[in-house]
């Protein structure tokens, strides 16, 4: 596995407060890496360190195979596109004029600019002034600016923040297309559901610490979804199981938390032993949000 971002104990302190603590990031090449965590958990601070916009207190960051330092920063940033916090762009200029500034600044050709604009599907809005853009259009223009240099790595800080569901879906779709085209995308969000299903890999922060890093599948297998049992006498089954198993009754379906498959089989046998007919046993479908809650409630991994 080759990684586009690797950090070793990356740490940022402000005074005696560590806002990012000993992060070991591993972002696989070609992934959409969802960088998730509540507000204030350290996402933006981490991304700024990766871009050398702020300096780590301790630890190291390697980006695109090279240590990110003051000395390598300039060359590396030529290969990284980023959108940090509010979208860039001058409001009194049109989209096209803003793109022209980027073009001159980076010495790009027309084809690169056209491709970036087409990728974010903004061709038809480029003659409008940016201050007349919707938030979603501003975010897409910001991403076009970041994409114009044809980066291998794109770092996007909360690009879905404040967008309506259609705007969020557009960004998701864009991220998928970029990853299909070979760009590695690191994308943060404090709303776990917003990049659920788009991210192939996840890093979850809580209070400046990484509480989970891995693939979506690994995350879901680290959590144990509730077992749901459909049976002939849910009320009695609930009485039988409530004390020792923490069962609850949910629309006449028994819900049992924290059971592995063997324990679930034991519960079924106990119910059958009580003369209760068991019609169906399944695991609840969990959202990323629920998995996250269960991980943080349990003190993380
Ligand atoms: N320049 C700074 N000085 C002091 N504290 C800061 C500074 N920048 C960020 N913080 C604090 O660091 C924590 C993490 O912030 P941030 O990285 O912006 O989190 P996130 O992007 O996950 O919302 C927050 O508690 C924030 O108040
Ligand atoms: Mg932030």
CA 33 – ligand 1 centroid, Å = 21
Q: What are phi and psi of 25, to 5 degrees?
A: -80, 145
Rounded-to-integer distance, Cα 68 and Cα 52, Å = 7
Residue range 275-289: average pLDDT? 87
For residue 268, give the H/E element and its range. Answer: helix 261-273
Domain ranges, ordered by start, for the chain = 3-221, 226-284
First to last CA, the chain: 23
Among the four given CATH numbers 3.30.200, 3.30.70, 1.10.3470, 3.20.170, the one describing domain 226-284: 3.30.70
Residue spans of beta strands (DSSP E) within 56-146? 58-63, 66-67, 80-83
Place of tokens 């990110």: 68
The pLDDT score that the predictor gives to residue 297 is: 58
pLDDT in tens, 110-128: 999 999 999 888 999 999 9
CA 42 – ligand 1 centroid, Å = 6
Residue range 8-26: average pLDDT? 97
CA 178 – ligand 1 centroid, Å = 29
Residue nearest to atom 27 of ligand 1 (CA): 40
Q: Where residue 301 falls among pLDDT bands split at 50, 70, 90?
A: very low
CA 166 – ligand 1 centroid, Å = 29
- Contact call for residues 295 and 255 (beta carbons, < 8 A): no
- Contact call for residues 137 and 163 (beta carbons, < 8 A): no
Return the percentage of the chain with pLDDT > 90, whole number. 61
Residue range 273-288: average pLDDT? 89
Q: Which residues line ligand 1 (CB under 6 A)?
A: 14, 19, 37, 39-45
Probe residue for ligand 1, chosen from 35, 45, 50 as the CB with the greatest number of ligand atoms within 8 Å: 45
Predicted confidence (pLDDT) at residue 300 exceeds the cutoff of 90: no
Ligand nearest to the CA of 207: 1
Please list the alpha-helical segments (H only) found in 120-233.
135-147, 165-180, 216-222
Predicted confidence (pLDDT) at residue 200 exceeds the cutoff of 50: yes
| DSSP label at residue 289 | H
Q: What are phi and psi of 121, to 5 degrees?
A: 55, 50
Rounded-to-integer distance, Cα 136 and Cα 228, Å = 40
Determine how β-strand 26-28 pairs with β-strand 3-14: antiparallel
Rounded-to-integer distance, Cα 119 and Cα 179, Å = 12
Closest among 157, 248, 199 to 30, alpha carbons compared:
199
pLDDT in tens, 47-104: 999 999 999 999 999 999 999 988 899 899 889 999 997 778 899 999 999 999 999 9
- Contact call for residues 296 and 206 (beta carbons, < 8 A): yes
Q: What are phi and psi of 91, to 5 degrees?
A: -65, -35
> Can you read off the two tokens belonging to residue 207?
């209070």
**Measured from the CA of 48, which atom of ligand 1 is nearest?**
17
Predicted confidence (pLDDT) at residue 232 exceeds the cutoff of 90: yes
The pLDDT score that the predictor gives to residue 244 is: 65
Q: What are phi and psi of 132, to 5 degrees?
A: -90, -5
CA 202 – ligand 1 centroid, Å = 21
Place of tokens 């090449």: 29
> Can you read off the two tokens belonging to residue 50?
């990766």
Q: Where residue 174 falls among pLDDT bands split at 50, 70, 90?
A: confident
CATH number of 3-221: 3.40.50.300
Probe residue for ligand 1, chosen from 10, 16, 17, 19 as the CB with the greatest number of ligand atoms within 8 Å: 19
Ligand nearest to the CA of 19: 1
Is-same-fold flag (3-221; 226-284)? Answer: no
Residue nearest to atom 3 of ligand 1 (CA): 14
Q: Where residue 223 falls among pLDDT bands split at 50, 70, 90?
A: confident
CA 188 – ligand 2 centroid, Å = 8
**Measured from the CA of 15, which atom of ligand 1 is nearest?**
4
CA 44 – ligand 2 centroid, Å = 4
Residue range 228-245: average pLDDT? 88
């Amino acid at each position: 596995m080759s990684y586009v971002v690797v950090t070793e104990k990356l740490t940022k302190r402000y005074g005696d407060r560590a806002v990012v603590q000993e992060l070991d990031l591993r972002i696989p090449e070609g992934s959409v890496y969802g960088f998730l965590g509540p507000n204030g958990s350290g996402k933006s601070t981490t991304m700024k360190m990766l871009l050398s916009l702020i300096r780590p207190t301790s630890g190291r960051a390697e980006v695109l195979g090279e240590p990110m330092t003051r000395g390598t920063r300039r060359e590396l940033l030529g290969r990284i596109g980023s959108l940090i916090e509010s979208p860039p762009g001058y409001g009194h200029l049109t989209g096209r004029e803003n793109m022209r500034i980027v073009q001159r600044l980076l010495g790009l050709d027309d084809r690169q600019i056209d491709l970036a604009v087409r990728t974010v599907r903004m061709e038809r809005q480029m003659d409008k002034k940016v201050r007349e853009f919707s938030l979603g259009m501003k975010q897409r223009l910001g991403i076009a600016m970041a994409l114009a240099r044809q980066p291998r790595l794109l770092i996007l800080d909360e690009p879905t923040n404040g967008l309506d569901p259609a705007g969020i879906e557009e960004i998701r779709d864009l991220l998928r297309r970029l990853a299909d085209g070979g760009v590695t995308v690191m994308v943060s969000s404090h709303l776990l559901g917003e990049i659920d299903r788009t991210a192939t890999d996840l890093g979850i922060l809580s209070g400046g610490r990484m509480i989970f890093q891995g693939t979506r599948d690994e995350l879901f297998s680290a959590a144990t979804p509730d077992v749901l049992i459909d049976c002939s006498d849910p009320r009695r089954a609930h009485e039988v199981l409530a004390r020792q198993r923490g069962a609850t009754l949910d629309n006449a379906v028994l819900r049992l938390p924290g059971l592995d498959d063997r324990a679930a089989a034991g519960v079924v046998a106990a119910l059958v032993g009580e003369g209760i007919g068991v019609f169906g046993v399944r695991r609840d479908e969990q959202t990323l949000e629920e998995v996250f809650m269960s991980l943080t409630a349990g003190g993380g991994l």
